[in-house]
Structure 1
Amino acid sequence: MDEDELSKVRLTADRTHAYGAHQDQVVDFLLPSGEGPGGGGKTMVVLLHGGYWRPRWDRHHTAPLARALANEGYLVAVPEYRRTNGWPEIFDDVAVCVEALSMMAAAEGLRPRRTVLMGHSAGGHLALWAAGRHRLPAGSPWRSDTRPDAVVSLAGCASLRLTDEWQLGDGAARAMMGGSVDTLRDRYADCDPAALLPLGVPVTLIHGRDDDTVPPSMSREYARMARDKGDAVTVVDLPDMEHYGLIDPTSTAFPHLRTALEG
């Protein structure tokens, strides 16, 4: 599916839970529809959407991948965050939402044994950041010792600093953060997963070689930095794969996603 096709997709949830008063502060849950590798909901996949943090994109374009994962037996949680210009609301929302997920699942009678954060593009950045919040300073309102069992980044903006320096998405990081890394170093340091290393959880970075939206060198650079800090990182480099193919369950990327989720 290309970008235009994805913009028309709508996500149909089995359940929707609110984690705040704003209309965007919701999580759609897709309940496991089979045993499969997801073990009938024993693993919860938290699927954070991309779109370069811009209001135009929301969680709905993840629908095909979310449904495919539920069909594999995973409990799938698809969070939305406020469709604002970005900082600090996006980080407020992701932090609060991730903390509330286990309680939301329990309300549905499900208590997954494992939680995997998965994110595409800008969602990859948010998944990695959420996993590293225990590395934030003690006074940060986002700090938490809650950690996932693993992170899977799909063509993720794994380094916020590089996203800004490389001017990806026509300056998307700068627009979201309210300025450049050179002028807002402390702000970026709190919001960049690469600045929080080591995360202390296994990370799989899946990237297509033909990606001209987030270049595959992003994942390679993050992996180098993470390994230097002692993190366990796997890089899956897919030939003949572009940016949106990674969230298309009919593409050759999907088996690699399943392998990453199985740990």
Structure 2
Amino acid sequence: MNRHTYGEDPSQYGDLLLPDGTPRGVVVVVHGGFWKSEYDADSLGLPLAEALAAAGWAAWNLEYRRVGTGPGGGGGAPRTFDDVAAGIDHLARLDVDTSTVVTLGHSAGGHLATWAAARGRHGWAEQVPVTHVVSQAGVLDLRAADRDGLGGGAVAQLLGHPATTADARFDPAQQLPLDVPVWCVHARADANVPFSQSVDYVERATAAGAEATLVEVDGDHFTVIDPGSEAWTRQLAILDTIG
């Protein structure tokens, strides 16, 4: 594992894990935690990155500034988004083939992973385009998440105000259709992020002519990031169709 910084803040880094042999592509792991500073890439993203490298992928476990003060803080809109965009583009400076770049993110990370595929249309640089997205119980509709009070008001804390139609540049549900395929992996019994977040996104995406697939799995909010789970095996199968 090699750590690379893409900025001066302590949270602006990524860990690159490489497989034995030629990578099948790059998977950018974007951890969740409702964008809050108390959650980090080491605890949430690293186990997935290790599993991805073992499966033949180059894994880029991305950290970013989150909402809050103290270590890991200083984020929010647009800084959190600036970091994810810059972190993905930093792959161009590393010795990896970026012809296939999959963003894989859990919960708030699923939001950021999906957002990143459209970032070039909303004012961010896009030196390294995203080619595929796997959203793991992603918060894909910020307005609905804000109305539902997910994460104790986490959306308003991220944006600095309640989510509205004026926040389209930050909101995947308002950025349809995407130009790349999206798989929304979600457990119906998820008590943290409603299953409807993925269902509604896929319905709207397909109606808009985009390629989006709902993948219902058993378990809870965290089963999708358990490398020992059947839900993770299904995600590896999705990746098998890509690279």
CA distance in 1, matches of 2:5, 2:227: 27
CA deviation map 1:76-106 (0-9, x unaligned):
00111123351121011111111121322x2
Name the TM-score, length of structure 2 as normaliser. 0.91
Cross-structure match for 2:133: 151
Q: Contact (CA 8 Å) 2:92, 2:127: kept in 1 or not?
A: no
Alignment of 1:17 onto 2:1: no
Find the residue that maps to 1:151 and give its secondary structure.
strand
SS of aligned partner of 2:206: helix
Tell me if 1:225 matches 2:204.
yes
State the percentage of identical aligned residues: 39
Structure 1 length as normaliser, TM-score? Answer: 0.84
CA 85–148 in structure 1, closer or farther in 2 if over 3 Å, else same: closer
Deviations 1:138-161 (A, max 9, x none): xx3x25375322100000001112
Judge which range, 117-126 or 54-63, deviates more: 54-63
Q: How far is the alpha carbon of 1:22 from its aligned partner?
A: 0.9
Q: Which residue identity is paired with 1:237?
A: E
- Matches of residues 156-175 of structure 1 in structure 2 within 5 Å? 156-175=138-157
Uncovered stretches (5+) of structure 2, i.e. residues with no partner: 66-72
Aligned Cα root-mean-square deviation (Å): 1.5
1:84 equivalent among 70, 74, 85: 74
Counterpart for residue 250 of structure 1: 228
Structure-2 separation of matches of 1:150 and 1:252 = 21
Pairing of 1:33-182 with structure 2 (within 5 A):
33=20, 40-60=22-42, 61-82=44-65, 83-104=73-94, 106=95, 110-136=96-122, 140=123, 142-144=124-126, 146-182=128-164
CA distance in 1, matches of 2:161, 2:168: 13
SS of residue matched to 2:216: strand
Q: In structure 1, list runs of 5 or more residues that go unmatched.
A: 1-13
Tell me, yes or no, if the aligned pair for 2:29 and 2:48 is still in contact at 8 Å.
no
**Residues 1:192 and 1:145: Cα distance change in structure 2 (over 3 Å):** farther
Query: Given residue 156 of structure 1, which amino acid in structure 2 is its aligned partner?
Result: G
CA gap of 1:143–1:197, structure 2 versus 1, over 3 A, is farther
Pairing 1:189-208 to 2, within 5 Å after superposition: 189-208=168-187
Q: Decide whether the 8 Å contact of 1:85 with 1:175 is kept in 2.
A: no
Alpha-carbon distance in 2 for matches of 1:125, 1:204: 12
Please say if residues 150 and 202 of structure 1, whose CA atoms lie closer than 8 Å, have aligned partners that are also in contact.
Answer: yes
C-alpha separation between the residues in 2 aligned to 1:225 and 1:75? 31
Look up the equivalent residue of 2:233 and give its one-letter code. Answer: P
Alignment coverage as a number of residue pairs: 233
Paired residues of 1:42 and 1:111 also in contact (CA < 8 A): no
Secondary structure at 1:169's aligned position in 2?
helix
Matched, 1:210 2:189: yes
